[in-house]
Amino acid sequence: MSIAKTRLFLGLLRRTPLRGWPAFIRNHLGKPSYTQWLRLHQQHGLKTAKTLGPTLAEKPDAPRFSILLPVCDPPLPWLKAAVASVQNQTYPNWELCIADDASASASVRDWLANLAQTDTRIKVQFRETRGHISAASNSALEQASADWLVLLDHDDCLARDALFWLAQAIQKNASWKIFYSDEDQIDEKDRHFCPFFKPDWSPHLALSQAYLGHLVCIKRDLVGNGFDSAYNGAQDYHLWLTASLHAGDEAVCHIPRILYHWRVHQGSTAQGGDAKPYADDAGLRAAAAYCDSRYANSQPTPKVIPGDYPLTYQLDFSESCAAQMASIIIPTRNQRQYLEPCIESIRRHTGPIRYEIIVVDNGSTEPDTLEYLETLKQSSDCQVCTDPRPFNWSAVNNLGATRAQGSVLVFLNNDIEVTTPNWLCALAGYALLPDVGVAGALLSYPDGTIQHSGVVIGMGGWADHVFRGDGAVHANPHNPFVSPLLTRNVMAVTGACMAVSRARFDELSGFNDTDFIICGSDIEFALRARQAAGFNVLCAQAQLIHHESKSRSPEIPEQDFIGSRAAYGGYRTEWIDPYFNPNLSLLSTTPALSLEPPRPPAPNAAAI
């Protein structure tokens, strides 16, 4: 029930100023290439860094960086390019700490030895025996003398303005201790492709995938004893996950700029998830360790299991949620042809969690529907209550909640079909976590394309479903954003399938049935839930089919626009949704690059 759905185009016609239409046409109908985006945004950023970098470095409290570069028999041209990318930084306060992990290549060792003699900013340690990536990284760490550590792989490159933007962010807010940027990939000919524009800090996405990738910068006092060899292959992932636990969620800052170039060649992790299979197991254990620490005292207690794609992970609540009970609340009016398959699919696919179904009949008149409702009244797993008032989505769901006995409330449209066995355990498990407000499902149209993979506030001028109409696939070289099939943090989820703990629902006094009639109150509630808990979650393990709005009118009352305008605040027209990216277009539900000036973050966001 997001505000911009069936009448988005007409709504834009009514509400978009004429001067906005050239941008709409360019971004929505003619999507710019990455080459175009680079030419515009990267050159502007580099010009700023060249102008301001030296001045910033002269300040008494200017940050200084130790760049850690573990080396083990890299192709020498790639190593030279990596080092050159540091030497060419526009911000000069750095040292490069290289640890050679007993490379067999004499040319690599000789070049490194000469490098240390010709550039005093570069330190090189030659390990006598090979210790693998964590040991080599720790040898680089031992040489570091700066307060800030930057991680660099021996075949990758920093953008020339990388350290400048890091230094600027450090200067902006002293409470930020961990930084990460967006990134792209480069081939053997230094051609740029596959940009990855990331959301702001998203701990539940971090449990699904090591999405921070590069560039990562960490305050020295957060790394403790350094890199843990038990996590070789995912040692960086384990390091920044652990650092984020010590520093706190509010200490992780996202810099939405391409500051790192990941080299793609035979054998690199960038080329494919199977290039380093041991990294998958290490990543699973790193995610499990983080999850165990983050939710040490939580009930239910999740368990981390492999995801359905290499180097991805999921939380499993099937054991810990078995003692819980969920109340599934389904408003309906007539339309037995949707309600009956919905309820039967719940019965067929739901377990092991206990559940009850509460159908709120909002004035059904069709004989076959009334007959089916009478049948439901006789069943042990279902109750039917009546609300004869004119339809108000919030009011009928609030009424259903008054009849619920479960510790989790799941608000479900009557045109939903359940397709995954553990959908309810997953939604209930996330909803019961102490730092989660609401959890929503991954919804698909009957043809298999995505209907809902999270709501972006500000998309389409109001709010809309990112990835709507796109294919449900992980690997898409044209997608510059996260995978739609990963569980991640979002600002809001649709009320077509929304889970919230009973305690949270009561704390927030339910849905707003005063300012909304049909659309928008689900998002308004989700925003209040996020404010209270910290995060909302799109739970991709819960995959359902949505025959969208088959049982109600597509008309959106003006009252709902007024309520949404008040609820969304600056996110509608001024600020970027923190779980999207300011370099992506808000006029396309398919993630696409934008050539417009990026929106700034909200004043309290951990981003620049």
Residue 25 pLDDT:
42
pLDDT above 70: percentage of residues in the chain? 92
In tens, the pLDDT along 521-545 reads 999 999 999 999 999 999 999 999 9
In tens, the pLDDT along 174-189 reads 999 999 999 999 998 9
pLDDT score of 552 more than 60: no
pLDDT score of 35 more than 60: yes
> Which pTM was predicted?
0.92
Report how far residue 80's alpha carbon sits from residue 112's, in angstroms, rounded to the nearest whole number: 9
Residue 300 pLDDT:
79
Please state, in angstroms and as integers, the Cα–Cα distance from residue 201 to each residue in 249, 394, 606, following that order.
7, 31, 8
Residue 44 pLDDT:
79
Assign domain 38-291 to its CATH superfamily.
Answer: Spore Coat Polysaccharide Biosynthesis Protein SpsA; Chain A (3.90.550.10)
- Where do the DSSP E strands lie in 166-224? 178-186, 192-196, 216-219
In tens, the pLDDT along 82-119 reads 999 999 999 999 999 999 999 999 999 999 999 999 99
Coil vs helix vs strand at 126: strand
b/e map 279-301, b = 16+ CB within 10 Å: bbebbbbbbbbbbeebbeeeebb
- What confidence category does residue 28 fall into, taking pLDDT thresholds of 50, 70 and 90? very low
Are 435 and 534 spatial neighbours (Cβ–Cβ below 8 Å)? yes
Residue 5 pLDDT:
38
Report how far residue 526's alpha carbon sits from residue 354's, in angstroms, rounded to the nearest whole number: 25
DSSP per-residue string spanning 539-583: EEEEEEEE-TTTTS-----HHHHHHHHHHHGGGTTTS--TTS-TT
The number of helices, as runs of H, and strands, as runs of E, in the chain is 18, 23
pLDDT score of 258 more than 90: yes
> How many C-beta atoms lie closer than 10 Å to residue 363's C-beta?
14
**Structural domain boundaries in the chain:** 8-16+319-324+417-571, 38-291
Mean pLDDT in residue range 452-478: 94
Residue type, 112: L
DSSP per-residue string spanning 339-357: HHHHHHHHHHH--SSEEEE
